[in-house]
Structure 1
Amino acid sequence: MEGNKNIFNSDCDSEDVPKWINKDYLERVLKNYFKDNSLKILDFYTKLATKKGENYASLVIRVVIEYENKNLKYNIGKYIIKLSVEGDPIMARVIKEYRAFEDEMLLYSEAFPKILDLINTKSDLKDLALFPKPIYCDFEHNAIILEDLLQRDYKSADRVKGLDEQHAKLALKKLAVFHACSVILDQQDPGCFKKFDHGVYNRYSDGISEFFCKTMYKVCNVIQNFGGEFINYSKKIRNLIPHWVEKERQCYDPKPNQLNVLAHGDFWSTNIMFKYDESGRPIDAILIDFQFTVWASPAIDLHFFVNTSLAGVPNIEEMENYVRFYYKEFLETLKLFDFETKLKIPNSEEFVCDFWENGFNALQNSFLDKSISFMEDDSAACPEAIFNEGEKRERFQLAMISNKRIQEHWKILIPIFDKKGLLDL
């Protein structure tokens, strides 16, 4: 066992791991999960799983456990423990208002088991991995224990480089199955997902809206400095800012008598992991981090994805091709279940029109979310910068808007958004 002590390096971040995450606690969890009261933990090691800026709503801990089962067989288990954010009182209050952790726990404990049961009824989908396998939801400590996907050779893609077509289509196929399953379950139990109504923009909290809006004024200053036609674009975008929150809330509101799904709500490359074959070709994708899941239009996830996660800058044709690919996979999943509904499922072209009709979120994704994904200076990214005024926020905003790659991105996308009417009040 001595060799296994190097699974993590000596910097184990032990001061950041709550004291209740100890041998006795983990042993109880594994005994319950494996239904083995004789299971015995021999040793365990912990380390923070995310770098600065990669997760704003949770503390994520990676744990490796050495244990023996009832047959005295030696095992190594690798798990992720997600904890609700504590510490900064403002940040903790806002995250609580968003129900980010509460909703994710409900998903893993109630909704996801139903989705798994559903997909396992079809041989074409059986054992399909959509999300990490839950080990335990601890409502006392606000903790979720999940399988560590690294154990199954899933890896994160390079968020700065972006996803090529192979990666993108794998991710969209999994998203389509996830969305389609939620539609089917909603038909079986109408309204079962309506309680998930605390997306990034919602009707209950202004938590991070103030940061986004103030950053948008700085974005407008950068765009104005591009000169030429961009001076007018900057004015149009600046006129949108007082209406920004309400227009975003309308995107996140469920659409009566239209297609609604259980949207991931934060669907970008950081929240997707991939498995690769020996040649390095991506062969599977799995979705993670469901802290802002919301019952809403699928356009929420599609705009988030195409405007934050693709390599290069997509034009209208490329965006719509990805939307059509998603739609085909979505429809094929519904057909597997002989889906029937009183709601009209739009055809492919109608779906593309709906995508643009719910397109205001593309501005948020491109000006703000993409700016974060392009940041190469992780030291500037910290949750406190979003929730508190001051020097940390100024550094964060500067790192977001001064990146030359994101500025070139804006120069290409802004005329597209204007052509689609997204810059109009």
Structure 2
Amino acid sequence: MSPLPAFLTLRNGELHFEGVPLSRLAHEHGTPLFVYSKAAMLEALAAYQRGLSGRKHLICYAMKANSSLAILQTLVREGCGLDIVSGGELERALAAGVDPAKVIFSGVGKTRAEMRRALEVGIGCFNVESIAELDVLDEVARGMGLRAPVSLRVNPNVDAKTHPYISTGLKGNKFGIAHESAVATYRHAASCAGLRVVGIDCHIGSQITQVEPYLDAMDRVLDLVEAVEAAGVHIGHIDFGGGLGIDYSGDVPPAADALWAQLLAKLDARGFGDRAIYIEPGRSLVGNAGVCLTEVLYLKPGEQKNFLIVDAAMNDLPRPAMYQAYHRIEPVKPRDGEASIMWDVVGPVCESGDWLGHERSLAVQPGDLLAVLSAGAYCMSMASNYNTRGRAAEVLVDGDRATVIRHRETAADQLRLETLLS
């Protein structure tokens, strides 16, 4: 078994996040409950900052990983920009106090209304993913008497060797502009009066645990920079996206600073060391900084399987149902000396896909607390109200202090925007 994530420790017979016992938080705020470590987030960010030290760079946190306001605020206060993929995320970014010039707008389906709002506030860059989107953005910007700063997201056709649902850099993916069409598309963008070309963008996938896909993608992107500039279009910044994985189950992704040492060496060797570097990490900043606490409701032994039923469900932690993803599950207060049994850990939602972990060896009784680890990314941000379940509360731990950063959602909160027929 791999070590516990940073700042999660077993002390006095129970799990603590930084200086706070998790059982206390569960008893004070109920379950399911998401708990995040500020120190873990800042330690993950520091690795990127070390790796890019001395270079012109901008780290834009990909807020789709976890868009809770206090999480955004924590990273923005450390100098981060934000990578957004919707108008709603733009409003969250602004509420968190980000400098709009440090906002990058990604995504394949931006609407005219979203473009107008982003132009009004003065965001730093639109990552554009199709010629059709370029033309609409050009039209919107000219109508406002502005020029939109654009970077084209190119698809390098590099296999990130990750889950098909989170692979984004292959020809068969919906993202980006085909490598073969990039030069012509840059010429088109440069000819549009409402656009201003500022960079090039590439993102090949998520939960990447190997260096080679990044090195391959960098070579292909730099080939394009040479070709685009030979065609007369200057590229100001090079955006290498995000996608670096975390340790869910003994995965060993490269450290962010070690990864960037290799990437920058290649950048220098190819003569582009003077360019500004943009990156958009998400999961690698917050994934291992969060846990979800859940209470054991019932034990249901069976002939073929034993089911351990908890109060967290697929609406709280969608990744297992969506990606067949693994999350390590640990007792908050281990029952040392008691025999473990193999359980399928499942939630109360009326779907067979509502599971958090298959075949987990645990010694537990009803009323015990479990911690689902590595739950800081793509859990709360993808949570839903399926079965009219309220979304969980969230707590941010800083040393021995704990602050509620999202209150538990009630049924009244969910019904507020609906109207009964007369």
Please classify the TM superposition score into its range, dividing by the shorter chain length. under 0.3
TM norm structure 2 = 0.24
Bigger RCO (CA 8 Å, 6+ sep): 2
TM norm structure 1 = 0.24
Whose strand fraction is larger, Structure 1's or Structure 2's? 2
